[in-house]
């Protein structure tokens, strides 16, 4: 299936972000004019004093080189896989957090909730253990860390 121009441009931008430093200064300049300054091939050609075809060929070679770097090194592929796995982990942490919260609520409101040793005498609600509360807090911290990683 053919990729849209926008999808190709996004792919090129990501590859350039990762591997752009490996391109020659000339290649970096052309790619930056095209991607970052959003200049057309004709505008770049005019700026550089070359033909539009020369710019097209140079950008095509730069893209091919970036793709070759990715094929050989796989940094973008690993990055995208890590992002997917972090997303899965975030969803699982969210599910676990909800389940844990339900367990804590059931423990404090359930049929065995009335306990004299809960500090309030007969009819006082059972207080979740400190260990359970600490485990829930750790779960919240883990979820926050995953979301921070996803934002980067």
Q: Is the pLDDT of residue 1 over 50?
A: no
| pLDDT one-digit tens code per residue, 74-131 | 999 999 998 888 888 888 888 888 887 887 777 777 655 544 444 555 544 455 677 7
Domain boundaries, the chain: 5-73, 80-151
pTM of the model: 0.64
State the Cα angle at 11 between 7 and 17, rounded to 5°: 145
Q: Does domain 5-73 have CATH number 1.10.10.10?
A: yes
Q: Which of 25, 26, 23, 5 has the alpha carbon at shortest distance from 15?
A: 23
């Amino acid at each position: 299936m053919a990729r849209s121009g926008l999808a190709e441009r996004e792919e090129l931008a990501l590859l350039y972000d990762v591997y752009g430093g490996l391109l020659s200064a000339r290649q970096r300049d052309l790619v930056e004019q095209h991607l970052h300054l959003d200049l057309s091939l004709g505008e770049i050609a005019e700026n550089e004093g070359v033909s539009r075809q020369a710019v097209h060929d140079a950008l095509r070679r730069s893209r091919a080189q970036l793709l070759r770097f990715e094929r050989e090194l796989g940094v973008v592929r690993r990055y995208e896989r890590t992002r997917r796995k972090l997303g899965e982990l975030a969803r699982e942490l969210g599910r676990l957090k909800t389940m844990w919260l339900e367990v804590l609520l059931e423990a404090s409101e359930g049929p065995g909730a009335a306990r004299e040793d809960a500090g309030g005498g007969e009819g006082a609600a059972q207080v979740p253990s400190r260990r359970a509360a600490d485990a829930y807090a750790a779960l919240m911290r883990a979820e926050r860390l995953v979301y921070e990683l996803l934002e980067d």
